[in-house]
Amino acid sequence: LLAAVLVLGSAVVLSHAAQEPESLPAGAEAMKIIVEDVTGKVQFIRNGQIQRMTKESVLTHGDKIVAALDAIGKFEFQHPTSGAVLSAVIIRGYTELTVAQAYLQGEQSNTQLDLKQGVIKAGVVRTAVPPSYRVRTPRTVLAGRGTEVAEIEATESGDRIRMGRIGIAMVHDTGPW
């Protein structure tokens, strides 16, 4: 499992500009992103439309998630046909997260979460074909390959990363995005 805690800035900035998600590669299927639980005010933005998140909401590749101060959201990223859980994410308070990639191509799952600010914990299920799982902050990219515990704190003064006993595949500075 990969568990990551990411902490960024303290103010929620919501852009109302419509952002088109990256198109899926040829032959890829979008994962189902199921809302397992939500408390407080959590919204998602799809095709420029802001919607209140409920347990009945189903998210998809390209959605932006924005959580208020007292909010918590729990999500499962599932195989598009079998419904098997491939990864899970918990967000809390003042979080802005975009699901930049969430698809299955062949047997490999590909997930990239762009965390502009806030706190998340993420877990990845180990599979026969290693998943591509990345969490990107404004300064760092973390790619997990079976990491049991990881903590990332991203603040204005820089990023701090503590890894579990198995480790990570890649970390590098990316510059502002």
DSSP secondary structure string for all residues of 28-70: -EEPEEEEEEEES-EEEEETTEEEE--TT-EE-TT-EEEE-TT
- Averaged over 61-84, what is the pLDDT? 94
CA distance 73 to 34: 11
Tell whether the model's pLDDT for residue 25 goes beyond 80: yes
User: Given this model, what pLDDT does residue 122 score?
Assistant: 79
Tell whether the model's pLDDT for residue 146 goes beyond 90: no
User: Given this model, what pLDDT does residue 36 score?
Assistant: 95
CA-based nearest residue to 138, from 52, 19, 13, 1: 13
Tell whether the model's pLDDT for residue 58 goes beyond 50: yes
* Structure-token pair, residue 2: 């990969």
**pTM, full prediction:** 0.75
